[in-house]
Amino acid sequence: MRKFKWLVGIFIGLALIAALALARGPASIKQAKADFKDSATTYAKLCADCHGADLSGGLGSSLVDGIWDIAKTTPEIETIIADGNGEVGMPGFSDQLSSDQIQNLVQFIRQQKPAQKTKAVVNVGAIDAGLVKSEVWVDGLDTPWGLVFTGPNRALITEKSGQLRQVVDGKLLAKPVMNTPEVWAGGQGGLLDVAIDPDYTDNGWVYLVYSHPLQSGSDKTMTKLVRAKIKDNSWTDEQVLFAAKPEHYIKSRAHFGSRLTFDDKGHVFFGVGDRGRKNMAQDLTRPYGKIFRLKRDGRIPKDNPFLANSKAYPAIFSYGNRNPQGLIWTDGVLWETEHGPKGGDELNVIMPGVNYGWPVISYGRNYSGTELTPYTHMDGMEQPVSQWTPSIAVCGLDVVTGDMFKDWNGYLLVGALKYKEVRLVKTDGNKYVSEQIILKGKGRVRDVSMGPDGAIYVTLNSPGQILRLTPGGTTPNNKPNNKKDDK
């Protein structure tokens, strides 16, 4: 019993330490790892005899079943650990443990709890033969990245090398759009996402996200958002909506983020990756590893969550996001997918001011296979709605609408570069339910989009194609199979 309360209190304390670690930066993150190891030793010496070496209980209660009968809040748990509780026979530990030790121990206990999320990969259903059929809609592209329809059978496509291409009447125009911005096309950078204004038919605004060189030919780069109009196949009337401070342009070939989406209140959202500076994803004074929100003309919304912090980028909406590669607003929910490292690709619901934890918490490991962080949970950091381990290299995100796949309306479409897949993800409100693969093996999927005709369009990096998916006709009502694959 003594160990039970003690462990409970520690769980709380570690949450506070986590917040302090974030504020203090990389050195504190390293310290947090050391604290974690020390707490494991402390648990083994003081708690295991009562609560079990695996925390599953014995003489004392289980600490991993999610049931806390006494001291449910963090302050309550801290108090009971420090002062004890005579009713349950638990002594206090304030004379043996410092508040920091209690905090660290609590966080250690939290990491032993079952993950409070569903591992998406467990719920992948079998591929239904004939569920969809595919045809090549556009061919001969140079590493296409983003696709947006500007009207029936008309579209814009970005090529990573820097060209913006037009499709008219289903045919790819030979000449790219002229006078588009100079991009830095190297590593993971280039001309990235493209979107049109929700009032495009009235105002003609087209939005681009790309890796921008600080000066012409410079290899110091940063993700930039602009909008303009296309007249006579030429980019004109450009407006800069977001550009990082010059001192935050860096020499890095990685993690530019890029995806764009709009809500129904006049906002545009876009993501910027951590640029390989993972600890800076926790720093509000840096633009790396963030989701941003602006008015569609670039103005800062008055209710953005960090306006009170004069040093923060005012457009920040959320932080602790590693490399956002999918973003879609639907039914009042902002869904995001992001690349993890070796494991831990995430499906998130993005909320204002929320910390999504990278790199302090993660379900992934370093690419070398070594430990990245001992933490998967921490107070003040949001859990993914679901996650993919091993990584599928999640990329591209949209929501099914229209009559062609009417039984799938509201399902998320998720692309996967590594596994060359399109997955159909069923949700309930802002909760993950299940998923299944509807396309596999056609090529590296960079983007997925709904067309105005109700078909699903899949952007492939290799080969450089756009596929058009329509119902296969062999599955009754085209309803997905949500049964779990137990193999």
Residues involved in catalysis? 255
Q: What sign has the CA pseudo-torsion 179, 181, 186, 192?
A: negative
Please list the residues that pair with 342 across neighbouring strands: 365
Tokens of 406: 């009417």
Q: How far apart are CA 400 and CA 439, in angstroms?
A: 15
Q: How far apart are CA 487 and CA 300, in angstroms?
A: 50
* H or E element, residue 6: helix 2-24
Q: How far lies 329's CA from each of 229, 268, 289, in Å?
A: 23, 10, 19
Tokens 């467990």 sit on residue: 122
**Among 293, 331, 305, which Cα is nearest to 431's?**
331
Let me know: does 257 contact 244? Beta carbons within 8 Å. no
Q: How far apart are CA 467 and CA 141, in angstroms?
A: 12
Q: How far apart are CA 203 and CA 410, in angstroms?
A: 28
How would DSSP label each residue in 217-239? Answer: T-S-EEEEEEEEEEETTEEEEEE
Q: How far apart are CA 25 and CA 21, in angstroms?
A: 6
Let me know: does 112 contact 55? Beta carbons within 8 Å. yes
Q: What sign has the CA pseudo-torsion 175, 176, 180, 185?
A: negative
Tokens 């295991």 sit on residue: 48
Three-class secondary structure of residue 87 per DSSP: helix
Query: How many CB atoms lie under 10 A from the CB of residue 348?
Result: 27
